[in-house]
Amino acid sequence: MAVFLTAALLTMACPSMAFDMSQSTRCVAIPNQMKVCKDVGYSEMRLPNFLGHSNLEGEVVPRSEDWRPLLQTGCHPQAQAFLCSIIAPVCLDTFIQPCRSLCVAVRDSCAPVLACQGHSWPEALDCDRFPAEQDICLSHHTKFNHFTKDLPKPACQNCPSVEEAPATKRVLDSFCQHDFAVTAKFHRRRQPMGEPEYDIEGRVEFIRQGPLLPYDTRHLLQQWLLINLRCANVLVRPGRSQLYVLTGSVQPDGTLALTFLFTWQKKDANITVATRKWKHHRC
Ligand SMILES: *[C@@H]1O[C@H](CO)[C@@H](O)[C@H](O)[C@H]1NC(C)=O
């Protein structure tokens, strides 16, 4: 019975990958350099992994880095678990693949982000390859879905217009025309060392708060930068920071759209005057 069960599990777990447990596999500690899976919740992985990679230093670890820009966007709460189950499968008696439903959930959330960064969903992660059975595969937890439902979400968008040296009236008009206006300093690391290349330096100050939440906005803008990498590349040069006044709106579907950005240099009195006038301004 036990033998039959194992054989059945294996057949179901490996429908199309032609993966054979009788092939020699080995367990290794997930190395520290494999940052994307280091804190995934288990410490040993099996090689070769589901991509067929067996060379830890030459292949598995360096290729795992390709996924970091996507995972850093927080595109799906189970994206890391899904990805690591493929590139660093947990070392148990049998291979545990992700369920097809998990793959579909992660793909539906993360493929648009990947597309925004200029990549398509890889064929190796084609969800049809993964088992539909819920009980022998890594499943999708729907409980993750509701609690963030009502917060504004960053999304892929056309890059916002950037204006330098605007007139005071132009800035005030922009505050009137959009849901929110904030100041934020975008920072770009020259050499990202395991940290995101882009982040928000210091505090985000509200000029017009609109539908934004005070405790969530810095994180929201940070995720926006990591998703819209191509816009971020234009907005701030390597090794630099740039202070902006950002105006934008929250769309009916809950996604954030940045519309106008004004670069704010210290000597730019027009923006300073606009932010001061705003308190008493009538649109
Ligand atoms: C301030 O606005 C005026 C127009 O109102 C414009 O001529 C001037 O160039 C602006 N100055 C700066 C520093 O942006």
Q: What is the β-pairing status of strands 180-188 and 44-47?
A: unpaired
Closest CA to 85 of 5, 13, 24: 13
Residue 268 in contact with ligand 1 by CB distance below 6 A: yes
Residue 270 CA: nearest ligand 1 atom is: 1
Domain final position from 129, 148, 167: 148
204 and 113, same structural domain?
no
Distance from chain centroid for Cα 154: 10
**pLDDT by residue, tens only, the chain of 283 residues:** 233 333 333 333 444 444 555 568 899 999 999 999 999 999 999 999 999 999 999 999 999 999 999 999 999 999 999 999 999 999 988 888 999 999 999 999 999 999 999 999 999 999 999 998 766 899 888 765 555 567 899 999 999 999 999 999 999 999 999 999 999 999 999 987 778 899 999 999 999 999 999 989 999 999 999 999 999 999 999 999 999 999 999 999 999 999 999 999 888 899 999 999 999 999 9
Residues 165 and 264 in one domain: yes
β-strand partners of 44: 29
Helix (H, G, I), strand (E, B) or coil at 30: coil
Residue that is last in its domain, among 133, 148, 163: 148
> Do residues 123 and 178 share a domain?
no
**What domain range is 52 assigned to?**
2-148
Question: How close is the Cα of 107 to the center of ligand 1, in Å?
Answer: 47
27 lines ligand 1 (CB under 6 A): no
CATH number of the domain residue 18 falls in: 1.10.2000.10
CA-nearest residue for atom 2, ligand 1, is 167
**Shared-domain flag, residues 157 and 143:** no
Helices (H), the chain: 2-13, 35-38, 61-64, 68-71, 79-87, 100-116, 168-177, 217-227, 229-235, 269-278
DSSP per-residue string spanning 188-204: E-SS-SSS-SEEEEEEE
Domain ends where: 116, 148, 180?
A: 148
- Whether 164 lines ligand 1, by a CB cut-off of 6 Å, is no
Pseudo-torsion of CA 29, 33, 39, 40, nearest 10°?
-70
Residue 221 confidence (pLDDT):
97
Same domain, 137 and 208: no
* Same domain flag for 138 and 191: no
Q: Which three-class secondary structure state does DSSP give residue 69?
A: helix
Nearest CA-CA partner of 217 in 240, 242, 183, 265 = 183
Phi, psi of 31 (to 5 degrees): -70, 155
**195 plus 242 within the same structural domain:** yes
d(CA 197, CA 240) in angstroms, rounded, equals 11
Regarding whether 181 and 142 lie in a shared domain, the answer is no
* CA-closest candidate to residue 248, choices 169, 164, 157, 141: 157
The ligand 1 atom at the shortest distance from the C-alpha of residue 265 is 13
Q: Is residue 116 located within the same domain as residue 187? A: no
pLDDT at res. 95? 82
Nearest CA to ligand 1 atom 5: 167
Structure tokens at 124: 């190796």
DSSP letter at 138 equals B
CA torsion through residues 262, 265, 266, 267, sign? negative
How far apart, in Å, are the Cα atoms of 221 and each of 141, 162, 243?
26, 16, 13
Whether residue 54 is found in the same domain as residue 139: yes
Predicted confidence at residue 135, as pLDDT, reads: 66
Q: What is the CATH number of the domain that holds 275?
A: 2.40.50
| Domains: count for the chain | 2
Distance CA 214, CA 258 (A): 17
Per the CB < 8 A criterion, the answer to whether 23 and 9 are in contact is: no
- Please tell me if the CB atom of residue 272 comes closer than 6 angstroms to any atom of ligand 1: no
Please indicate, yes or no, whether residues 166 and 144 belong to a single structural domain of this protein: no
Does 110 lie in the same domain as 20?
yes
The CB density around residue 211, as the number of other CB atoms within 10 Å, is 13
